[in-house]
Amino acid sequence: MAEAQAPASVAETKQALAAASYLADESAALVSFLAQRLGKPVLVEGPAGVGKTELAKALSRASGRELIRLQCYEGLDEAKALYEWNYRKQLLRIQAGGESGWEDVHGDIFSEEFLLERPLMQAIASPEPVVLLIDEIDKTDQEFEAMLLELLSDFQITIPELGKVSATSMPIVVLTSNNSRELTEALKRRCLYLWLDYPEMEREMEIVRLHTPDLPEALARRLVEVVRMVRALDLKKPPSIAETIDWARTLLLMGAEDIDRETFEQSMSIIVKHRTDIDLVAERVGMKLAAPTQAG
Amino acid sequence: MSPAASPYGPRAETGPPGLAAKLLGFCEELRSEGVAVGTSEILDAFAALDQVSWESREGFREALATTIAKSQEDRRLFELLFERWFFRAAEAEAIEREIGETEQRHEGAERLDIDELREQIRQAIVDGDEGQMRDLARLAIAAFGRQGEGSGVVGVDVQRIRRTLELSAGAQPQPADGAAELPPIDRDQLNRFERHLRRELERDLIERTETLPPSRPLAELDRALPTSPTQDLAAVHRAVSQMKRRLATLGHEQRGRRKAQTVDVRRTMRASLETGGVPMHLRYRPKRPRRPEIYVLCDVSTSVTSASVFFLSVLHALHDSFRKLRSFVFIERISEVTEIFEHERDFREIARRISSEGGVADVSGYTDYGRVWLEFLTEISDDLDPRSTVIVLGDARTNGREPHAEVFAQVAERAGRLFWLNPEPRLYWNYGDSVMAAYERHCDGAFECWTTRHLENFVNVVAGGVPAAD
């Protein structure tokens, strides 16, 4: 198994992630580090929009590996995730090879040439080490999880007609879950577990500053404060980190100098996206902000 | 640390002596609190500990947590137990070796200027410097507790010291002389400082008495009971969303299968390979199960007050998961509250509106189950069919009134399935005015249910699994 360059320390991992514009906290950096050293998959859970998917992308950028992504949904099956026989091509082969005997054809149509590789297979078969992102694993059913077990513990896939396909390089596997259902114990046991939550005030400040360096610091602080205020309400969908960044960019475009009630109400739809939430936020947060200055 | 050696090798023994045993003891403790720690996880933990530097307490803890605690709830327990276990382990060791630091640790306390100390602590809290906080916590205890003059109750002393230090969360009172502005203190950060205070006080106590206080299991209350609606609503929501999957695929899979099926061309073609490209066997698209209809009846009388907050949060979660859900609350009469749940998001607001608009109490405020069944049956008997599931949340205490079990039997007969969740322990069923037995025999299942764990158990049983051991 070709060993990819693993980082030497947690601090190094953290730096590499920061260079890929992802500010990881201690536990995220440590888990990323362990994942690369121990070669174990990582299960990332947390509320929507705290950067679970982004972590996988950043790992791919930081380690220079290609990112292969499998987006899960209800009803996802092996044919879409692992591999599928290209039956059209197989039919053609059967018809075109009229002369040759059955033995030839039989051996032929179940070879790699007729295999359609889906993301999981791609990740295993890739000659270069990759980052495999299995996104929103909680959306699939338990049968699918069971199918993943072989892949996650041994990094191999068994195809009845071909035999075992083992990974040539150790992929970094990241699974994300929004916790919409409990995952099976068997799956959890094979993974390192990372719980990501909304970042603390200071770290969110750093994140905003990293993505919108032009935004004045005072305004950025105010913005993060307001976002945290909004998150403290019981909303259908609290604003994510990505939305905080979007909002920061919007304020920059609007040329806002302070977040007063008017600016807030104009741009609030960027962080709050449900009818009922909007009312609630306007009432609870909007009122707390200063009215726009009348002068000038 | 040679990476060539097996990560699961015997290297665990090369750590500081006794660590492996300590760690196993810790895992045992976790298991006794209900965290599922497998052998493979312990092996992973040792492998992970090989990779991190042990000087940093953070790194040590995180490496253990990421390999052992595999859910948020487990993580919470992990944090609680980690603190306790390693603190106790260190103290036990200290007693054994007769290492005490009472002599030196409070040195210099007399010379301390209180204002200066206050400033330093505030700074340490704002900086989030753990080591500094710990040292200052000791000084503060020395300065204020004056060794032995404390109340002896750790929790009281912590608050007393905090107040003397004038520490509170949020914006700080500004100094009168116009000195530098004080930065606000975060609630979490203050909690952290209080934790240090608590630990140091406990350490003092242990040193004075030279014994460890008995280790108690974490209170059941601390675990999962959502008494405060907003606090553990998430846990209830999790259990209910599992229930959704179970109910959605249960009971009526086989009905009307052959009618109106769609041929799956892709799979038919693939199957035709076996017959040389001639599609002999048709493959069909799998049929999606129909949506279940659910009726939830919830007792909100005073006899179940403590449980009704829990029940309402279950209802709240159910409404988030199911489209076709109709909910009813009852005391003496029954009233449909589906609309309130559909239009209102805020839990407190829902609770308020139900009590003010429900109109379910007549005169006495005592539950009248018999009347409730009669009313329920007249109101929605036409809608009940074998696809519907009825869930009753109540204690089956009729206050001596006619239970009308035969009407309940009719409801059970018309509905596909009927479940009863009772907020009382099974032990109390059929005592006093509880007529649970009369109803239970018509139910497809009756469960005790007052914590999220019970709720999960219910979900498991509904799914055909084995009930979890309590």
pLDDT of residue B152: 61
Q: pLDDT by residue (tens digit) across A14-63? A: 899 998 888 888 889 999 999 998 889 999 998 888 889 999 999 999 98
User: Using an 8 Å Cβ cutoff, are B434 and B395 in contact?
Assistant: yes
pLDDT at B409 over 70: yes
Mutate to test the interface with A, among B52, B55, B70 (most CBs of A within 10 A): B70
Contact with chain B for residue A270, Cβ under 8 A: no
* In-domain check, residue B224: no
Contact with chain B for residue A133, Cβ under 8 A: no
Architecture of domain A10-74+123-195 in CATH? 3-Layer(aba) Sandwich (3.40)
* In-domain check, residue B175: no
Q: Do A234 and B230 touch (CB under 8 A)?
A: yes
Question: Which H helix or E strand runs over A175?
Answer: strand A172-177
Q: Are residues B236 and B273 in the same domain?
A: no
Mutate to test the interface with B, among A182, A184, A191, A284 (most CBs of B within 10 A): A182
- Residues 170-229 (A) with a CB less than 8 A from some CB of B: 179-182, 185, 188-189, 191-195, 200-201
d(CA A220, CA A249): 10
pLDDT of residue A134: 93
Q: Do B273 and A191 touch (CB under 8 A)?
A: no
Q: pLDDT by residue (tens digit) across A148-157? A: 888 888 888 8
- Provide the Cα torsion A83, A88, A91, A95; round to 10°: -140
Q: pLDDT by residue (tens digit) across B175-185? A: 555 455 566 67
Cβ-based neighbours of A196, under 8 Å, separated by 6 or more? A28, A44, A45, A46, A50, A51, A52, A55
Q: Provide the residue range defining the domain that includes B409.
A: 229-249+290-462
pLDDT at B451 over 60: yes
Count how many domains chain B has: 4
d(CA B379, CA B392): 16
Q: Are residues B330 and B387 in the same domain?
A: yes
Chain A residues whose beta carbon lies within 8 Å of the beta carbon of residue B7? 38
* In-domain check, residue B221: no
Mean pLDDT of B389-400: 84
DSSP-derived secondary structure for B114-136: HHHHHHHHHHHHHHT-HHHHHHH
3-state secondary structure of A73: coil
pLDDT of residue A183: 82
Task: Give the one of B65, B188, B345 whose C-beta lies nearest to A276's C-beta.
Answer: B345
Task: Give the one of A181, A194, A234 whose C-beta lies nearest to B66's C-beta.
Answer: A194
Contact with chain A for residue B231, Cβ under 8 A: no
Bigger pLDDT: B9 vs B158: B158
State the nearest Cα–Cα gap between B364 and chain A, in angstroms. 35
Bigger pLDDT: B225 vs B463: B463
Above pLDDT 90, what percent of chain A?
Answer: 17
Tell me: ipTM over 0.95: no
State the nearest Cα–Cα gap between A39 and chain B, in angstroms. 10
Task: Give the one of B7, B38, B62 whose C-beta lies nearest to A27's C-beta.
Answer: B62
Q: pLDDT by residue (tens digit) across B303-337? A: 666 666 677 777 777 776 676 788 888 887 788 88
pLDDT of residue B358: 63
Q: pLDDT by residue (tens digit) across A165-182? A: 888 888 899 999 987 777
Reported confidence tier of residue B112, pLDDT bands at 50, 70, 90 = low
Contact with chain B for residue A152, Cβ under 8 A: no
pLDDT at B108 over 70: no
Domain end (from B96, B117, B144): B96
Contact with chain A for residue B47, Cβ under 8 A: yes
pLDDT of residue A291: 65
Q: Are residues B344 and B197 in the same domain?
A: no
* In-domain check, residue B327: yes
Q: Do B277 and A91 touch (CB under 8 A)?
A: yes
* In-domain check, residue B1: no
Name the residue of chain B whose CA is nearest to A187's CA: B70
Measuring CA to CA, which residue among B33, B86, B34, B38 is closest to residue B61? B86
Tell me the average pLDDT of chain A.
Answer: 84
User: Using an 8 Å Cβ cutoff, are A176 and A44 in contact?
Assistant: yes
Q: Are residues B338 and B394 in the same domain?
A: yes
Mutate to test the interface with B, among A5, A36, A38 (most CBs of B within 10 A): A38
Mutate to test the interface with A, among B51, B127, B240, B452 (most CBs of A within 10 A): B51
Task: Give the one of B51, B186, B270 whose C-beta lies nearest to A37's C-beta.
Answer: B51
Q: Are residues B303 and B449 in the same domain?
A: yes
Domain end (from B76, B96, B116): B96
Query: In the block, which residue shows the tokens 């675990």?
Result: B223
User: Using an 8 Å Cβ cutoff, are B172 and B184 in contact?
Assistant: yes
Mean pLDDT of B75-90: 79
Q: pLDDT by residue (tens digit) across A55-107? A: 999 999 998 899 999 998 877 888 888 888 888 888 888 887 666 677 777 77
Q: pLDDT by residue (tens digit) across B19-65? A: 788 888 888 888 887 788 888 899 999 888 888 877 777 788 888 89
Q: Are residues B435 and B370 in the same domain?
A: yes
3-state secondary structure of A292: coil
0.80 exceeded by pTM: no
Q: Are residues B108 and B67 in the same domain?
A: no
Q: Are residues B237 and B342 in the same domain?
A: yes
pLDDT of residue A69: 93
pLDDT at B457 over 90: no
Count other Cβ atoms within 10 Å, centred on residue B339: 12
pLDDT of residue A71: 92
User: Using an 8 Å Cβ cutoff, are B407 and B376 in contact?
Assistant: no
Mean pLDDT of A265-293: 78
Quote the tokens at residue B296.
């939830």
Q: Give the number of A-B residue pairs with CB atoms closer than 8 Å.
A: 92
CA angle A116, A121, A125 (to 5 degrees): 105
Quote the tokens at residue B211.
């014994």
Contact with chain B for residue A143, Cβ under 8 A: no
pLDDT at B249 over 80: no
B231 CB-contact burial (10 Å; exposed 0-12 / middle 13-18 / buried 19+): exposed
User: Which range is most confident: A34-48, A107-121, B152-166, B372-386?
Assistant: A34-48
* In-domain check, residue B5: no
Range in A75-84, B289-298, B372-381 with the lowest mean pLDDT: B289-298
d(CA A260, CA A263): 5
Q: Are residues B78 and B152 in the same domain?
A: no
Q: pLDDT by residue (tens digit) across A189-214? A: 889 999 888 888 888 898 998 888 88
Q: Are residues B116 and B19 in the same domain?
A: no
Task: Give the one of A95, A181, A192 whose C-beta lies nearest to B241's C-beta.
Answer: A181
Contact with chain A for residue B52, Cβ under 8 A: yes
Chain A residues whose beta carbon lies within 8 Å of the beta carbon of residue B3? 37
Q: Do A234 and B47 touch (CB under 8 A)?
A: no
* In-domain check, residue B80: yes
Name the residue of chain B whose CA is nearest to A105's CA: B276
Q: Are residues B455 and B329 in the same domain?
A: yes
State the nearest Cα–Cα gap between A181 and chain B, in angstroms. 6
Name the residue of chain A whose CA is nearest to B39's CA: A189
* In-domain check, residue B134: yes
Contact with chain A for residue B320, Cβ under 8 A: no
